[in-house]
Structures are given as structure tokens and as C-alpha cells.
Amino acid sequence: MISIVIPTYNRADILAECLDRLAHQRDVDGLYDIIIVDDGGSDRSSEVVSTFQKNYPGISVRYFKKENQGQGIARNYGVRQARGDVIIFIGDDILVPDDFVFRHLEFHRNHPEKNAGLLGFIEWDHRLPDTPLYTFLTNGSIILGRFGGHQFAFEKLEGRSKASYDFFYTSNISLKRELLLEEPFDENFLAYGWEDIELGYRLMMKHGFRLYFDKNVSVAHYHPMTEDALKKRMYVIGKSIVLFDQKYPELGKIPRGVKYFLFFVFGSTPMVGFFSLMKNIFGGAFHYWYYFALSKRCFLLGLQDGIKSL
């Protein structure tokens, strides 16, 4: 059996669509259940789940509400409540095809070893606009072949069947519950950012975890993004990286030396203003350079505040 763990927070409308997609899975009747962990939300998510339970009585869906403590803690709670031997993590804004559960289940049937997991592909939902911001967020090579992809960077996995810990994306990933009970998400990561990457690294270092990648296990991500959302996201990532660096200084995730200097220069107010002007006049690739500069500015602000809070 496989359990799908979904943390949610005040996104009832898209949660309803997420659940509706999960209701129409083929070839897996009775082989999966769904666990919703409401992380202290105040909307009608509980009503959405109740309606789903009435409409689909043959599908096991359990709803738990707890105080707001962050996604990592919510996922740990969901894992403890799970009945399946395998856990699938998705977000409340993930929309799956009808073979989604079957493909994850088949992978684990073929890879029963405890330290094997599956990463699937994630793309933007077709209803979201095709803008430079969305491209920047999902192309980790768009700036100098190295930078970008602050949401996903699947182009770096082209032609590969396995992924590193940096790709431990909890929007479409499955692994054994037994392993997650031994190695839960680090609950010291209270804000968004790095709690999933930290777990991926820990699993690989301590258990030889192998993360397989299958582009055909694809889902759509309906998460409208704005420039303000990018700024907030990068600030929180910058703040959270301090904790990650304390645990694993050998990885050198905090930029130092020349790298820090370059981030500082590109993230400076004059550079952000310059690229903003260039994108407004010429468009094209200047959009990506602007988002790069803006993201570095917010990342460094978060990093500075994270260091101060030690």
C-alpha cells in the first residue's frame, strides 16, 4: 500500500482540484490512501476534505489539523499517521495524471530496497502564464549555464536516471516509510527552504539513498508566482541556509569569497535598477538577469538576518 502525504495551508480551492485528480487513479483501487495535514490554516480546507469523503467513500482520506509549524513538521506528522509502506509527498497545488499512483507503486515494487526512492517531473500548470519569471524559476542553467532554477532545475537531469540530493523535491517524490521514520525531516527548519534538501543529503550520506528520476512520472504545479513572491522566497531561503551550513559546513552552501562578492555586486541596488531598466527597454534575456540580480539581493538580506539570529 502507498500513502500520499499532503501538507496544506489556506489553499482550499486548489486542494479540492488536487484531491479530485487523486480520486481518478487507475489500476490502484484499494492500494493507496491520502493524508491531509492542515498546518494551522483558517480557510475551508476541512470542508473540502469532507465533501471529497462524501463524494468518494471508497477512497481512504484522513484529515488532521494542527498548529502552524511549517511543512517539514507537517510532513513528519503525516508520515507517522500513514498506513502505507511507501510515502508519496506532493503539495496541495500539485495536479496529477490518472497513472500517477500506479507509476510510483510500480517503481517500488521493482525497487523494494529501503534506500531507493523515485523523483518525478514537475512542470507549471498550463493555465499559468508563459512569462520570463516562470522560465527563470525552472531553468537552473539560464544564467551563465549555472544560475537560475530557484524552483526546479530539471534540465540538469536530462539523460540521467538518478538525481543528487539537490533534487529532493517534495512536490513529486516517493520513498519508504520505514526510512522516513528513522530519518524524519529536521524540525529545526521552521521556515520554508532547505528542509527537503537537508533530508535528501542526510539520507544519502547515512543510508546510501538512491534517488531515481523518471521524467514520465509527471505532474502539473499550479502555483501563481509574482515578483514579490520571488523576493519573499529568496529571503527565506537565504535565512534558512544558515542552519543548513551549520550542519554541513563541508558543503560550502553559504557563498563566500569571490562568489559572495559577485552576489553582492549583482544584488546591489544599482545593478538591480540597471537590469530593471534594460528589461523594460530591450526585454529578452535582460528579464532573466533582472530576476537573478533581484534574487541575489533578497537572498543576501535573508542570509544576513539568519547570521544575526544565531
Burial of 39-66, coded b for 16+ CB within 10 Å and e otherwise, reads bebeeebeebbeebbeebeebebbbeee
How many angstroms separate the CA atoms of 270 and 255, rounded?
21
pLDDT, residue 68, reads 85
Q: Which domains does the chain have, with CATH numbers?
A: 2-221 (3.90.550.10), 227-308 (no CATH)
CA distance 209 to 287: 38
Q: Is 177 helix (H, G, I), strand (E, B) or coil?
A: helix
CA 230 vs CA 102, 130, 152, 223, 226: distances in Å = 34, 16, 13, 12, 6
Task: Output the CA angle 206-189-290, nearest 5 degrees.
Answer: 105
Provide the pLDDT for residue 193: 73
C-alpha cell at 118: 523515485
Note the pLDDT of residue 144.
83
Sorted by sequence, the CB contacts under 8 Å of residue 256 that are 6+ apart come out as none
Task: Tell me the three cell numbers of residue 121.
Answer: 517531473
Which residues fall within 8 angstroms of residue 169, CB to CB, at 6 or more apart? Answer: 119, 122, 152, 196
The pLDDT score that the predictor gives to residue 36 is 98
Query: CA nearest 40: which of 13, 8, 17?
Result: 8
Q: Provide the pLDDT for residue 149.
A: 76
Which run of H or E residues covers position 308?
helix 286-308
Predicted TM-score (pTM) of the model is 0.95
Residues 223-235 pLDDT 10s: 999 999 999 999 9
Residue-level pLDDT at 297: 97
pLDDT, one tens digit per residue, over 179-203 is 999 999 999 987 777 899 999 999 9
* Residue 147 DSSP symbol: B
pLDDT at 290: 97
Q: What are the backbone dihedrals phi and psi of residue 309, each rounded to the nearest 5 degrees, phi first?
A: -80, -5
pLDDT at residue 190, rounded to an integer: 74
- 278 has which bridge partners? none
- Position 189 scores a pLDDT of 84
Q: Look at residues 290, 163, 165, 254 and name the one whose alpha carbon lies nearest to residue 215.
A: 163
Query: Tens-digit pLDDT profile for the chain (310 aa)?
Result: 999 999 999 999 999 999 999 999 999 999 999 999 999 999 999 999 999 999 999 999 999 999 988 889 999 999 999 999 999 999 999 999 999 999 999 999 999 999 999 999 999 999 999 999 999 999 988 988 888 877 899 999 999 999 999 999 999 999 999 999 999 999 998 777 789 999 999 999 999 999 999 999 999 999 999 999 999 999 999 999 999 999 999 999 999 999 999 999 999 999 999 999 999 999 999 999 999 999 999 999 999 999 998 7
Q: Where are the beta strands (DSSP E) in the chain?
A: 2-8, 32-39, 60-66, 86-89, 94-95, 116-124, 162-163, 173-176, 210-221
Distance CA 40, CA 201 (A): 28
**E strand intervals along 104-209:** 116-124, 162-163, 173-176
